[in-house]
Amino acid sequence: MRSGVKSGVRLRRYAITAMAVIAGLLVVGRITGTLVDWLWFSSIGYGGVFWTIISVRALLFVAVFAISAGAIWLSGILAHRYARSVDISRADAADSPDAAEFTGDLAELIAPRVPWRSSIACVAVVLGLLVAASEISNWDVALRFIYQVPVGARDPIFERDIGFYLFSLPAYVALKNWLLWLVFFSAIVAGAVYGVRGDIAPERPPRTLSPAAITHGSALLGVFFALKAWSWWLERFLLLYDDNGVVVGASYTDVHVELPVLWMLVGLAAASSVALWINMRRRSYLLPAVLTLLVFGSSFVFAVIYPSLFQRFYVKPSELKLETPYIEHTIALTREAYGLAKIEVKPFEAEQGLTLDSLQANRATIDNIRLWDVQPLMDTYAQLQEIRTYYKFLSVDIDRYQLDAGYRQVMLSARELEPAMLAPNAQTWVNLHLIFTHGIGVVMSPVTEKSTEGLPSFYLRDIPPVSNGGPAIREPRLYFGEGRQDYVIVNANVAEFDYPQRPTNAYTTYSGRDGVSVGSGARRSLFAWELDDPNILLSGYITDQSRVLLHRNIQDRVRTIAPFLGLDHDPYVVASNGRLFWILDAYTVSQWFPYSRPGFGDGANYIRNAVKVVVDAYNGTVDFYVSDPADPLLRTYERTFPGLFKPLDMMPPELRRHIRYPEDLFLIQAQLYRAYHMDAPEVFYNREDLWQFPQELVGIDGGSSASTMPPYYTIMRLPGEARAEFILMLPMVPSQRENMIAWLAARCDPAGYGKLIVYVFPKDKLVYGPFQIEARIQQNTEISQQISLWNQMGSRVIRGHLVVVPIENSILYVSPLYLRAASGQLPELKRVIAAYGDRVVMEDSLGEALAALFKETGQAASPPRGNIDARAKEALAHYDRAIERLKAGDWSGFGAELDALRPLLEALGSGRSDARK
For the chain, how are helix, strand and coil distributed in percent, rounded to 5?
A: 50, 20, 30
Instruction: Please say whether the beta carbons of 745 and 718 come within 8 A.
Output: yes
Does residue 132 or residue 110 have the better pLDDT? 132
The least confident of 50-54, 101-105, 174-178, 777-781 is: 101-105
Residues with Cβ within 8 Å of 806's Cβ and at least 6 positions away in sequence, in order, are 348, 716, 719, 729, 743, 759, 812
Q: Which of 526, 523, 529, 495 is nearest to 510 (CA)?
A: 495
Instruction: Please say whether the beta carbons of 501 and 475 come within 8 A.
Output: no
Residue 911 scores a pLDDT above 60: no
CA distance 212 to 283: 8
Q: Where are the beta strands (DSSP E) in 432-532?
A: 439-440, 442-446, 460-461, 466-467, 477-478, 488-490, 496-499, 506-508, 516-517
**What is the average pLDDT score of the chain?**
88
Q: What is the pLDDT of residue 315?
A: 96
Q: Which of 43, 239, 80 is nearest to 160 (CA)?
A: 239
Cα–Cα–Cα angle for 247, 248, 249, rounded to 5 degrees: 105
Q: Is 839 exposed, middle or buried (0-12, 13-18, 19+ CB in 10 A)?
A: middle
Within 10 angstroms of residue 802's Cβ, the number of other Cβ atoms is: 23
Q: What is the pLDDT of residue 917?
A: 44
Instruction: Please say whether the beta carbons of 392 and 416 come within 8 A.
Output: yes
Q: Which of 440, 575, 444 is nearest to 506 (CA)?
A: 440
CA distance 672 to 696: 21
CA distance 633 to 591: 12
Q: What is the C-alpha R_g of the chain?
A: 36
Residues with Cβ within 8 Å of 180's Cβ and at least 6 positions away in sequence, in order, are 224, 227, 231
Q: What percent of the chain has pLDDT over 90?
A: 70
Does residue 207 or residue 899 have the better pLDDT? 899
The least confident of 326-335, 513-522, 661-670 is: 513-522
Within 10 angstroms of residue 751's Cβ, the number of other Cβ atoms is: 8
Residues with Cβ within 8 Å of 703's Cβ and at least 6 positions away in sequence, in order, are none
pLDDT band, residue 612 (cuts 50/70/90): very high
Does residue 203 or residue 127 have the better pLDDT? 127
Residue 803 scores a pLDDT above 90: yes
Instruction: Please say whether the beta carbons of 760 and 741 come within 8 A.
Output: yes
pLDDT band, residue 103 (cuts 50/70/90): very low
Instruction: Please say whether the beta carbons of 160 and 200 come within 8 A.
Output: no
Q: What is the pLDDT of residue 89?
A: 42
Instruction: Please say whether the beta carbons of 806 and 828 come within 8 A.
Output: no
Q: Give the helix/strand (H/E) hosting 172.
A: helix 169-197
Give the number of C-alpha atoms closer than 13 A to the C-alpha of residue 104, restricted to the C-beta side.
10
How far are the Cα atoms of 125, 228, 292, 691 from residue 177, in angstroms, in the given order? 19, 10, 19, 41
Residue 645 scores a pLDDT above 60: yes
3-state secondary structure of 388: coil
Q: What is the pLDDT of residue 785?
A: 87
Q: What is the pLDDT of residues 379-427, one digit of tens each?
A: 999 999 998 999 999 999 999 999 988 899 999 999 999 988 999 999 9
Residue 281 scores a pLDDT above 70: yes
Q: What is the pLDDT of residue 25?
A: 59
pLDDT band, residue 484 (cuts 50/70/90): confident
**Phi and psi at residue 127, to the nearest 5°:** -65, -40
CA distance 526 to 40: 13
The least confident of 88-102, 115-129, 293-307, 559-573 is: 88-102
pLDDT band, residue 860 (cuts 50/70/90): very low
Residues with Cβ within 8 Å of 710's Cβ and at least 6 positions away in sequence, in order, are 663, 667, 730, 801
Q: Which of 392, 491, 375, 472 is nearest to 440 (CA)?
A: 392
Summarize the confidence of residues 240-257 as an average pLDDT: 95
Instruction: Please say whether the beta carbons of 681 and 327 come within 8 A.
Output: yes
Instruction: Please say whether the beta carbons of 358 and 286 come within 8 A.
Output: no
Q: What is the pLDDT of residue 908?
A: 61
Summarize the confidence of residues 38-53 as an average pLDDT: 96
Contacts 24+ apart (CB under 8 A), 188-195: 189/72, 189/75, 189/76, 189/79, 189/120, 189/123, 189/124, 189/127, 190/75, 190/76, 190/78, 190/79, 190/216, 190/217, 190/220, 193/76, 193/79, 193/80, 193/83, 193/116, 193/120, 194/79, 194/83
CA distance 249 to 829: 51
Q: What is the pLDDT of residue 12?
A: 55
Q: What is the pLDDT of residues 722-746, one digit of tens each?
A: 899 999 999 999 998 899 999 999 9
Q: What is the pLDDT of residues 814-846, one digit of tens each?
A: 999 999 887 777 899 999 999 998 899 999 999
Q: What is the pLDDT of residue 870?
A: 58
Handedness of CA 678, 682, 685, 686 (dihedral sign): negative
Q: Amino acid identity, residue 567?
A: L
DSSP 608-658: EEEEEEEEETTT--EEEEES-TT-HHHHHHHHHSTTSEEEGGGS-HHHHTT
3-state secondary structure of 573: strand
pLDDT band, residue 284 (cuts 50/70/90): confident
DSSP 175-191: HHHHHHHHHHHHHHHHH
**Parallel, antiparallel, or unpaired: how do β-strands 344-347 and 742-747 relate?**
unpaired
Cα–Cα–Cα angle for 201, 203, 205, rounded to 5 degrees: 95
CA distance 709 to 704: 14
Residue 537 scores a pLDDT above 80: yes
pLDDT band, residue 115 (cuts 50/70/90): confident
Residues with Cβ within 8 Å of 555's Cβ and at least 6 positions away in sequence, in order, are 482, 567, 571, 584
Q: Give the helix/strand (H/E) hosting 437.
A: none
Summarize the confidence of residues 317-342 as an average pLDDT: 96
Q: What is the pLDDT of residue 699?
A: 72
Summarize the confidence of residues 18-43 as an average pLDDT: 79
Q: Which of 860, 868, 856 is nearest to 894 (CA)?
A: 860
Q: What is the pLDDT of residues 176-188, one digit of tens each?
A: 999 999 999 999 9
pLDDT band, residue 117 (cuts 50/70/90): confident
pTM: 0.87
Summarize the confidence of residues 854-877 as an average pLDDT: 55
Summarize the confidence of residues 246-250 as an average pLDDT: 95
Does residue 735 or residue 105 have the better pLDDT? 735
Q: Give the helix/strand (H/E) hosting 593.
A: none
CA 810 to chain centre: 35
Q: What percent of the chain has pLDDT over 70?
A: 87
pLDDT band, residue 24 (cuts 50/70/90): low
CA distance 863 to 880: 10
Residues with Cβ within 8 Å of 825's Cβ and at least 6 positions away in sequence, in order, are 379, 382, 383
pLDDT band, residue 909 (cuts 50/70/90): low
Q: What is the pLDDT of residues 194-216, one digit of tens each?
A: 888 777 766 555 456 788 889 99
CA distance 365 to 229: 63
